Amino acid sequence: MNEFLEKEEQIVRMLKTVFDPEIPVNIYDLGLIYKIDLADDGHLNIDMTLTAPNCPAVDFIVEDVRMKVASVEGVTEVDVNIVFEPAWDKSMMSEEAQLELGFL
């Protein structure tokens, strides 16, 4: 596997360890991660959204994302951008997340 894909896979693995404190499913499977962009110099840009625009845990979640993906070898800097376009909805969740939350 090429090195870039391996790093991206490690980043996704780390994102799957981040949870909204109110939802028992990780943010990746919830469909909250819209973009993972890793530059050659190790600068990582992540676009993510929230299940609700007024999420009280936003600071906690963003800091958790930042800390965990920064631990991936080769990631030198992390920017987490909160976006609301497109608006998140339940259809963005993985099948596993929908099953876990009783939507299937």
pLDDT at 88: 93
Domain membership flag for residue 101: no
| pTM more than 0.85 | yes
* Residue 74 pLDDT class (50, 70, 90 cuts): very high
The beta strand positions in the chain, using DSSP E, are: 33-38, 43-48, 77-82
Domain membership flag for residue 80: yes
Say if strands 33-38 and 43-48 run parallel, antiparallel, or are unpaired: antiparallel
- The rounded distance, in Å, linking the Cα atoms of 48 and 54 is 14
What's the number of domains the chain is made of?
A: 1
Domain membership flag for residue 12: yes
Domain membership flag for residue 99: no
* Residue 70 pLDDT class (50, 70, 90 cuts): very high
Q: What is the SS3 assignment for 65?
A: helix
CATH number at residue 56: 3.30.300.130
Domain membership flag for residue 56: yes
pLDDT at 3: 80
**Percent of the chain, pLDDT > 90?**
80
- The rounded distance, in Å, linking the Cα atoms of 13 and 46 is 14
Domain membership flag for residue 71: yes
Which residues form the domain of 42? 3-93
Domain membership flag for residue 28: yes
Residue type for position 73:
E
pLDDT at 1 over 70: no
Domain membership flag for residue 98: no
* First vs last C-alpha separation in the chain: 34
pLDDT at 45 over 70: yes
pLDDT at 21 over 60: yes
Say if strands 77-82 and 43-48 run parallel, antiparallel, or are unpaired: parallel
Are 13 and 69 a contacting pair, CB within 8 Å? no
pLDDT at 17 over 70: yes
Are 10 and 68 a contacting pair, CB within 8 Å? no
